[in-house]
Amino acid sequence: MYDLKILLCDDSLLVRKKLKGALAEQGFTQLFEAADGEEAVAFCQTDTPDLVLLDIVMPKKDGIEALQEIKQINPSIHVVIASSVGTQSNLIKAIKLGANNFLQKPVTIEAIVDITQKIVDERGER
């Protein structure tokens, strides 16, 4: 369906599996996982995902730190911050650092599909 490379970064294995399964059902085939911000940054250094869904609260490197580093590696990577502690300060900080979007947890598949559709539309891949 869509040829987007999506990196799901959350310290919860359950959240990653749930999102991966739901996105696969939507026709996405290039789905990758990272358990923390460190893994997400390492992935972005060797590969170029179209979309990174980043949790804010994670061990080793949080979503805000990972966002900064990913945007330094490649500013064109579309980064969406997801957080259950959706404080206004995190939202503002994430947007200032280049986050393309911010989702409140629990993240719905509809919200992710909506975002991926926008990326596809922006790139003219209809």
| pLDDT string in tens for the chain (126-residue length) | 568 999 999 999 999 999 999 999 989 999 999 999 999 999 999 999 999 999 998 999 999 999 999 999 999 999 999 887 656 678 888 989 999 998 888 888 899 989 988 888 887 754
DSSP code at position 123: T
Answer yes or no: are the C-beta atoms of 78 and 51 closer than 8 Å. yes
Inter-CA distances, 56 with 7, 15, 122, Å: 14, 13, 26
Its pTM stands at: 0.91
Q: Give every CB contact of residue 122 below 8 A, 6+ residues apart in sequence.
A: none
Residue 86 pLDDT: 54
